[in-house]
Each structure stands twice: as C-alpha cells, then as structure tokens.
C-alpha cells in the first residue's frame, strides 16, 4: 500500500513499543524490509503522547499537523482469539474476518492518502475531538510508575522495578502495552505463571469485551467472530 501511494505526499512512520530495545525488535523490522521509516521506542514516548494502550494502533496526521483520526486499532480484529493454542491455527470463518478487517483498514488509509480531507474516512475536527480519549491523572500516574520501573530494570534493580511495573499494570489494566511489556521484562506472569499462559488467562477474562475495539470505520467487521468463554 505504501509503495502505491508514497508519491501522494504520504508517509508512514512505524514505531515498535519495545522496552527491551532494538535487539528484540530488530528481527521484525528487518523481516518487514519496509521502505517507510521504522523506529524503536524503548521508553514508550509515542504511547504516552497519543494515549495508546495496545498494538497495532495508529494515528492519522495531516500536512498541517492536525490529528485526523486519533489512536485506534489499526486493522487487527478479535477473531484471533479463536486461535487453537496448541497449533496456532485459526478457524476459516475467523480468519476471513481478520482478513476483512486488515483489508478494510489498509484500503481506508490508501483512500485518505490519495483524497486527503475529502476521503470519507477522514474525520472533521469535531469528529476527531469526539473520538479522542484524553489521558487523566490516573494515566499520568500509571506512566510514571511504568517509566520508573523500566529505568530500575535497566539498571539491574529488578526487585524494586517489579514493584513499580506491577503498580502500573494494576493502575491501568486496560493498557495491554504496559501489561505485555511488564511480563516480557519479568519473563513471568502473575503467581509465577509463564508469561504466555498468564496473558491468555487475562485475555479470556475479557469475555465478550474487546481486546481490539473496532475503529469507527465503514465496512470494518464489528462481530467478535468466536464464542467468548463464559
């Protein structure tokens, strides 16, 4: 998609939110062989600035620096939760929903790149404000604990770091970014569970709640595509 529209005054900046640094993120960056800009954000500045809670999320910004679409799920879909955890396979109907979500979002970005403000997917200033979720005092406290926990971990003070990382995750349980990065740094989940086991237990706890809230976008599939655990 980028190669199709890169001459339309359009740019993609991809940012890996990875507390462990470039050695962990680089394999994905290298394999993508992207022609657009790719960055690694070890301290999660982008997530803080745009109030992101998961990946992939995206923000659309126009030539004047105005946010056209605030942070939103960038083409992913909850049907991945139908995955068989033994062999990582996904049922055909769930896979079809995932593919539709990806295609719909990519096509919307392409349409905006070509048509700009006249794209049906571009929000007006009022619509953008209505979709914007602003951080509050709890988010600021969460980010401070997370940042301090990262710093202490990098300095080798892992026991003290764990206190602040756990506090951050508890203060803002909806932030999957903070949860996953905390588990990655600790390499264990709550109560000593393996990180992946703890992750899926937390995901299952959502029930019919969304891991990837669908963006407000025409044609994007809203159904879950699987039967959530009761």
**CA-to-CA separations, 133 to 51, 93, 205, in angstroms, rounded:** 7, 32, 24
Mean pLDDT of the chain: 92
**Contacts for 5 with CB less than 8 Å, ≥ 6 apart:** 110, 113, 114
Same structural domain for residues 126 and 186? no
Same structural domain for residues 31 and 113? yes
Which pTM value belongs to this model? Answer: 0.91
The residue range of the domain holding 149 is 137-204
Same structural domain for residues 40 and 117? yes
Same structural domain for residues 144 and 123? no
Same structural domain for residues 47 and 80? yes
CATH number at residue 60: 3.40.30
Please give the average per-residue pLDDT across 178-193, as a whole number.
Answer: 73
Residue 84 falls inside a structural domain: yes
Token pair in block for residue 40:
């690694």
Same structural domain for residues 55 and 150? no
Residue 229 falls inside a structural domain: no
Please give the average per-residue pLDDT across 64-88, as a whole number.
Answer: 96
Please give the average per-residue pLDDT across 53-77, as a whole number.
Answer: 97
> Which position has the higher pLDDT, 14 or 225?
14
**Kind and range of the H or E run holding 40:** strand 37-41
> Which position has the higher pLDDT, 197 or 41?
41
Same structural domain for residues 141 and 121? no
How many angstroms separate the CA atoms of 55 and 117, rounded?
Answer: 26
Q: Count Cβ neighbours within 10 Å for each residue of 62-97 and write b for 16 or more, e otherwise.
A: eeeeebbbbbbbbbbbbbbbbbeeeeeebeeebbeb
Same structural domain for residues 61 and 144? no
- Which of 21-35, 61-75, 214-228 shows the lowest per-residue confidence on average (mean pLDDT)? 21-35
> pLDDT band at residue 112, thresholds of 50, 70 and 90?
very high
Please give the average per-residue pLDDT across 115-127, as a whole number.
Answer: 97
Token pair in block for residue 131:
């979709």
pLDDT of residue 21: 82
Token pair in block for residue 6:
């890169």
Same structural domain for residues 71 and 125? yes
How many angstroms separate the CA atoms of 223 and 142, rounded?
Answer: 31
Please give the average per-residue pLDDT across 134-138, as a whole number.
Answer: 95
**Contacts for 179 with CB less than 8 Å, ≥ 6 apart:** 169, 173, 199, 202
The tally of domains found in the chain comes to 2
For 16-58, the pLDDT digits (tens) are 998 888 888 888 888 988 899 999 998 899 999 999 999 999 9
**Contacts for 132 with CB less than 8 Å, ≥ 6 apart:** 67, 70
**Contacts for 78 with CB less than 8 Å, ≥ 6 apart:** 210, 211, 212, 224, 225, 226
Same structural domain for residues 20 and 118? yes
Same structural domain for residues 155 and 107? no
């Amino acid at each position: 998609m980028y190669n199709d529209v890169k001459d339309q005054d359009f740019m993609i900046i991809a940012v890996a939110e990875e507390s462990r640094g470039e050695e962990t993120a680089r394999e994905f960056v290298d394999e993508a062989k992207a022609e657009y800009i790719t960055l690694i954000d070890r301290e999660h500045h982008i997530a803080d600035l745009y109030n992101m809670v998961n990946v992939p999320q995206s923000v659309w910004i126009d030539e004047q620096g105005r946010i056209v679409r605030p942070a939103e799920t960038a083409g992913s879909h909850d049907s991945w939760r139908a995955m068989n955890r033994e062999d990582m396979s996904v049922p055909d109907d769930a896979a079809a929903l995932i593919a539709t979500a990806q295609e719909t979002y990519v096509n919307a970005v392409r349409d905006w790149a070509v048509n700009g403000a006249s794209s049906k997917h571009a929000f007006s200033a009022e619509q953008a404000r209505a979709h914007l979720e602003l951080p509050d005092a709890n988010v600021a406290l969460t980010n401070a604990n997370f940042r301090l926990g990262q710093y202490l971990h990098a300095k080798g003070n892992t026991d003290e770091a764990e206190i602040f990382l756990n506090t951050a995750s508890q203060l803002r349980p909806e932030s999957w970014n903070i949860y996953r990065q905390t588990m990655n740094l600790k390499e264990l989940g709550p109560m000593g569970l393996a990180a992946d086991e703890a992750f899926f237990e937390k995901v299952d706890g959502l029930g019919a709640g969304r891991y990837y809230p669908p963006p407000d976008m025409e044609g994007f599939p809203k159904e879950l595509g699987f039967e959530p655990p009761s």
